[in-house]
Amino acid sequence: MSSVPVLAAPGAVEKKPVKFSNLLLGAGLNMFEVTTLGQPLEVMKTTMAANRTDGMMSSVSRIWGRGGVLGFYQGLIPWAWIEASTKGAVLLFVASEAEFYVKRAGGNNFVSGIGGGMAGGLAQAYATMGFCTCMKTVEMTKHKAAMKGEVVPGTMSTFMDIYRKEGLAGINKGVNAVAVRQVTNWGSRFGLSRVAENGIRSVTNKSADQKLSVPERILASALGGGLSAWNQPIEVVRVEMQSKKEDPKRPKKMTVGNTFRYIYGTSGVKGLYRGVAPRIGLGVWQTVCMVALGDVAKEMVEKATGEKVTAKH
């Protein structure tokens, strides 16, 4: 008597395993992105958000004056590297779990994708991005004691000094704003990218099961990333909360709410959108790295680990 294979019930939700190869791919692409154009664009975005009277060229001059070419890479080592190498892993773990439970509760692919992305973004903020973005911003905005002939404290000295004075709250300053930014980022990026993909399919007469070309995928993701910069005011609030620039008019105990009011009161609506241009550029560069270089990186990771990469890039 032959054995009959037991089939999964129709419509059953399958939990996708999180593979080491997927984590390695995400970490590798993020590290490449931030070490090339990513950090210079991040520094420009942060400098403009912290110094809201500066235009693009005056911000570039300010950054150059702080260290020439190296000024554009302040905060890269170790904070941007720590963030880049860990945030993909955190996102993948949490997003995968959240997406599974939303699907099991009856959500469709679109809703579960957004739910997973938002949960992953929230976890990113509180697990690693809070203290990493805080320390990057400190590095980019702290007063240079060398101008007075004093010894400039190193990165780790600065970190330990903040920790001794303010504890965990000090090195995670602005983490709530980071969380709001990440949740809205992932939700809107996912949704807007899908809208852009549908538009491209409509124009090119491609069906839902036909793959988009690499240029089409870059365009869709870049549009999603660029349009999701609508939440730039949250990013400016985050930078202001973490900034070490000296301003006696700032609230003593800064929250997301009073920081928003302070920025609006001193710089208006325009101030709330300072740094949006380099942020859009950053979103496009991240997209190019993840999509255009994704296939090449995927092959390298599969050869190195012997595992098939299943993550989307």
Q: Using one digit for the tens of pLDDT, what is the confidence trace for 212-245?
A: 888 888 888 888 888 888 999 999 999 998 887 7
User: What's this model's pTM, rounded to 2 decimal places?
Assistant: 0.78
CA distance 165 to 240: 19
CB 310 within 8 A of CB 288: no
- H helix runs in the chain, sequence order: 20-33, 39-50, 56-65, 81-104, 109-124, 130-141, 155-171, 175-204, 214-227, 232-242, 256-272, 276-292, 294-305
Question: For all residues of the chain together, what is the average pLDDT?
Answer: 82
Mean pLDDT of 181-201: 81
Residue among 103, 97, 134, 104 at smallest CA distance from 119? 97
- Distance of alpha carbon 41 from its chain centroid, rounded? 12
End-to-end alpha carbon distance in the chain? 46
Q: What is the mean pLDDT of residues 176-202?
A: 82
Token digits of residue 194: 């899908």
At residue 170 the predicted structure's pLDDT band, cuts being 50, 70 and 90, is: confident
Cβ distance 90 to 124 under 8 Å? yes
Count of CB atoms within 10 A of residue 6's CB? 6
Upper half-sphere CA count for residue 66 (Cβ side, 13 Å):
23
% residues pLDDT > 90 (the chain): 22
Q: Which tens digit of pLDDT belongs to each residue from 124-144?
A: 888 887 778 888 888 877 765
In contact, 50 and 245? CB cutoff 8 Å: yes
Q: Does 313 have pLDDT greater than 60? A: no
Query: Each residue of 267-299: pLDDT tens digit?
Result: 999 999 999 999 999 888 887 887 777 767 777
CB count within 10 Å of CB 285 equals 20
- CA 48 vs CA 11, 63, 215, 227, 275: distances in Å: 50, 10, 31, 19, 5
- Kindly state the tokens that stand for 22: 């997927």
C-beta atoms surrounding 237 within 10 Å: 29
Cβ within 8 Å of residue 164, ≥6 positions away? none
265 has pLDDT over 70: yes
